[in-house]
Amino acid sequence: MSTTKEFQTINPTSGKPIHTYSYMNEKQVSEAIENCHNAFLTWRQHSLKERAEHLKNVGKALLEHKEELAALMTEEMGKLLKQSEQEVELCAGICEYTAKEGPTELAAEDRKLPEGGKGRIVHAPLGVIYGIQPWNFPTYQVIRYAIANLMAGNGVLLKHAESVTGCALLLEKIIESAGLPKHLFKVLIINHDQSDDVIKNRYVRGVTLTGSAGAGEHVAKVAGAALKKTVLELGSNDAYIVLQDADLDNAVKQCVNGRVYNNGETCVAAKRFVVVEEVYEAFKEKFVARMKGVNYGDPTDSSSRMGPMAREDLRKDLHEQVTQSVSKGATVLCGGELPDADGFFYPATVLENVQPGQPAYDEELFGPVASLIKAKNTEDAFRIANDSRFGLGGGIFTSDGDKAFELAAEHFDTGMVFINSFGLAQPNMPFGGVKDSGYGREHGGFGMKEFTNAKAIMALK
| Fold assignment, 239-426 | Aldehyde Dehydrogenase; Chain A, domain 2 (3.40.309)
Query: Which is catalytic among the residues 87, 96, 233, 442?
Result: 233
Beta strands in 142-222 (DSSP E): 155-159, 185-187, 204-210
Confidence (pLDDT) at 220: 98
Cα–Cα distance measured from residue 457 to residue 345, given in angstroms and rounded to the nearest whole number: 57
Confidence (pLDDT) at 1: 47
Domain with CATH 3.40.605.10 in the chain: 6-234+437-460
Query: Which is catalytic among the residues 95, 255, 267, 334?
Result: 267
Cα–Cα distance measured from residue 457 to residue 108, given in angstroms and rounded to the nearest whole number: 10
Confidence (pLDDT) at 425: 83
Cα–Cα distance measured from residue 355 to residue 378, given in angstroms and rounded to the nearest whole number: 18
Cα–Cα distance measured from residue 222 to residue 199, given in angstroms and rounded to the nearest whole number: 7
- According to DSSP, the residues that pair with 186 across neighbouring strands are 157
At 265, the amino acid letter reads E
Please give the CATH superfamily to which domain 6-234+437-460 belongs: Aldehyde Dehydrogenase; Chain A, domain 1 (3.40.605.10)
Global pTM reads: 0.97
* 91 carries an active-site annotation: no
Residue 380: C-alpha distances to residues 274, 331, 387 (Å) = 9, 22, 10
Confidence (pLDDT) at 3: 64
* 95 carries an active-site annotation: no
Residue (of 270, 272, 276, 284) closest to 398 by Cα position:
276
Confidence (pLDDT) at 123: 98
Residue (of 297, 263, 265, 246) closest to 421 by Cα position:
246
pLDDT average per 10 residues of sequence, the chain (461 residues): 82 98 98 98 98 98 98 98 98 97 98 94 98 98 98 98 98 96 97 96 98 97 98 97 98 97 94 98 98 98 98 98 98 97 96 98 98 98 98 97 97 97 89 97 95 97 82
For the chain, the residue count is: 461
Domain with CATH 3.40.309.10 in the chain: 239-426
pLDDT digits (tens, 9 = 90+) for 47-81: 999 999 999 999 999 999 999 999 999 999 999 99
